[in-house]
Amino acid sequence: MKKIMIAALSLLMLLAFTVPAMAGAVDNMTSTVSFGGDAAYDMSNKVYIDYTTDDYTNAQYFGLGTVHSGGNRMFATSSETSVIFWKTCDKGTSEADVGNATWTTGLYTTNNWLAL
């Protein structure tokens, strides 16, 4: 769980600086995820990430989710909150739930996410 949190926080910080330069969405990627400006992020084995924006031509708003298929929790956040949220999932899950790119803290909590 600690590695997932570190990976999610690291990726969130990286995305804050590279989202405008991204060519497309990251959708359930494993291995190396490439970002604009030749930045790359290598994820751990069995860690999956999903990324969404409100508009792929102007990624001002984004949602980000991550899950480790060996665990039972997934994590998510968006550009509209400074909180990282989690919820339980089935072990073996490789589809990270990102919610919505414009979800605020209130929308996460009303959709059964818990704040870290």
Give the lowest-confidence range in 9-18, 38-47, 106-115.
9-18
Tell whether the torsion through CA atoms of 98, 99, 100 and 104 is positive or negative.
negative
Of 76 and 59, the structure prediction assigns the larger pLDDT to: 76
Residue 55 has a pLDDT of 75
What is the arrangement of strands in the sheet containing 62-68, beginning at the earlier edge strand?
27-29, 47-53, 62-68, 73-78, 85-88, 114-115
pLDDT over 90 percentage in the chain:
27
Name the average pLDDT for the chain: 76
How far apart are alpha carbons 74 and 102 in whole angstroms?
19
| Nearest one of 72, 61, 64, 56 to 11, comparing CA atoms | 64
Taking the CA atoms of the chain, what radius of gyration do you get in angstroms? 13
Amino acid symbol at 88? T
Q: Which amino acid is at 109?
A: T
Phi-psi region of 115 (alpha: psi -120 to 50; beta: other; left: phi over 0): beta
Distance, CA of 30 to CA of 72 (rounded, Å): 18
H/E stretch holding 41 reads strand 40-42
Q: Each residue of 38-64: pLDDT tens digit?
A: 666 677 788 888 888 887 776 688 888
79-96 pLDDT, tens digit per residue, is: 899 999 999 999 998 888
Tokens 């919505």 correspond to 100
Q: Report the pLDDT value the prediction gives residue 14, as an integer from 0 to 100.
A: 56
pTM: 0.65
